[in-house]
Homo-oligomer: A and B are copies of this chain.
């Protein structure tokens, strides 16, 4: 029972191969978490996620708090019971959504007053209240409420948000220490500080001093160049304890993921594979393709000739294009299945490469192939 994290192998690049034990199973890291906002990964049934080998999924506290409500979820056995997913789950704190989706926000040290994006109803979330909601939802890994700011943000604004985030983290930890169960749920802190190196360092140091069992890096990949995301990530992970898992929130593109792993990141989540799938953008070993492109109309080849997923084994680009243009549900299902397979397969390759000590070769190989994008032989656009 309970939690344990073990770094099985550390690569000279900074990458880590790890195992995170949770009450609902072990997560091999580095891991990608498909996003299941409303207690469902859009387009994939739980059975499909199991077939794809998803180890853990992420659900959104903000959305579930508003609908169907955390008390209802709790009554039906928490998220694991409600959505019949007996494997690990992580809930975010809702911070990002309150600051990006909700209306009429009033932020104070006390918490956030906001209006639901669904019906305009007014709600107040404090750090303590968020933990209470996440305890009811019952995910294995839960996140503290953080203040997310617009990007780019001036140093003063970022400093204020980082200060508040640290203050909220302390209150969250105190509340969870009194009311929560650390054998059942792991509470992770979130490091903020925008793209300001010194702020990031201070925020990380303050949170590390509080000894959370896991650390997340938030507020990145919000418009800044990939190099900046990567650099900030690296300077933060350098200050984090080796023996605790690190989660980089909301990333990333396939070609960026190896970079983050080399910065010592263990877990990531991103809506990209699922959302892009529904928009007809499919990941391949030669880059992303847009399945609606007329050149695929009579293309009998699979999306990715090197892919072993159920979709590529069975269906042609021509068929997927037809489904997309016809706005058919099965188009979204198949596209999502392929994209999530692509991400999970990439993570498996990364873990294998760390294990075999050839992650740099994997990275060069990936980048070389993506460089073929613009060549006549490449399938990608």
Task: Answer whether residue A318 sits at the interface, using C-beta atoms and an 8 A cutoff.
Answer: yes
Q: Classify chain A: how many residues form its interface, as a range.
A: 35 or more
Which residue from B40, B72, B310, B326 sits with its C-beta under 8 Å from A323? B40
Q: Of all chain B residues, which has the CB nearest A323?
A: B40
Q: Is the CB of A298 within 8 A of B76?
A: yes
Q: Is the CB of A322 within 8 A of B39?
A: yes
Task: Answer whether residue A333 sits at the interface, using C-beta atoms and an 8 A cutoff.
Answer: yes
- Also in contact, A318 and B40, with CB within 8 A (given A332-B329, A333-B333): no
8 Å CB interface, A51-74 against B: 67-68, 72
Q: Is the CB of B76 within 8 A of A300?
A: yes
8 Å CB interface, A266-316 against B: 297-298, 300, 310, 314-316
Number of copies: 2
Complex Cα–Cα for A314 and B80 (A): 12
Task: Answer whether residue A334 sits at the interface, using C-beta atoms and an 8 A cutoff.
Answer: yes
Which residue from B72, B75, B83, B315 sits with its C-beta under 8 Å from A84? B315
Which residue from B44, B84, B330 sits with its C-beta under 8 Å from A43? B330
Contacts of A75 in B (CB 8 A): 298
Q: Is the CB of B316 within 8 A of A76?
A: yes
Complex Cα–Cα for A300 and B316 (A): 40
Complex Cα–Cα for A141 and B165 (A): 66
Q: Of all chain B residues, which has the CB nearest A41?
A: B330
Complex Cα–Cα for A77 and B325 (A): 20
Task: Answer whether residue A38 sits at the interface, using C-beta atoms and an 8 A cutoff.
Answer: yes
- Also in contact, A322 and B38, with CB within 8 A (given A72-B298, A298-B75): yes
Task: Answer whether residue A42 sits at the interface, using C-beta atoms and an 8 A cutoff.
Answer: yes
Contacts of A332 in B (CB 8 A): 329
Contacts of A319 in B (CB 8 A): 39, 76, 82-84
- Also in contact, A40 and B328, with CB within 8 A (given A315-B84, A333-B333): yes
Contacts of A209 in B (CB 8 A): none
Q: Is the CB of A67 within 8 A of B298?
A: no
Q: Of all chain B residues, which has the CB nearest A77?
A: B300
Contacts of A126 in B (CB 8 A): none
Task: Answer whether residue A45 sits at the interface, using C-beta atoms and an 8 A cutoff.
Answer: yes
Task: Answer whether residue A1 sits at the interface, using C-beta atoms and an 8 A cutoff.
Answer: no
Q: Is the CB of B297 within 8 A of A68?
A: yes
Q: Shortest distance in angstroms between A334's beta carbon and chain B's nearest beta carbon?
A: 7
Q: Is the CB of A318 within 8 A of B72?
A: yes
Q: Shortest distance in angstroms between A38's beta carbon and chain B's nearest beta carbon?
A: 5
Q: Shortest distance in angstroms between A101's beta carbon and chain B's nearest beta carbon?
A: 14
Q: Shortest distance in angstroms between A75's beta carbon and chain B's nearest beta carbon?
A: 6
Which residue from B67, B72, B82 sits with its C-beta under 8 Å from A326? B67
Q: Is the CB of B76 within 8 A of A325?
A: no
Complex Cα–Cα for A72 and B300 (A): 11
> Please, what's the 1-or-0 string for A315-354, where 1 marks a CB less than 8 Å from any CB in chain B?
1101100110110111111100000000000000000000
Contacts of A76 in B (CB 8 A): 298, 300, 316, 318-319
Q: Is the CB of A42 within 8 A of B298?
A: no
- Also in contact, A67 and B329, with CB within 8 A (given A45-B334, A334-B45): no
Q: A39-B322, A329-B329 are in contact. List 17 more A-B contacts (CB 8 A).
A: A39-B319, A40-B326, A40-B330, A41-B330, A42-B329, A43-B329, A47-B314, A68-B325, A72-B298, A76-B316, A76-B319, A82-B318, A82-B319, A84-B314, A84-B316, A329-B332, A333-B333
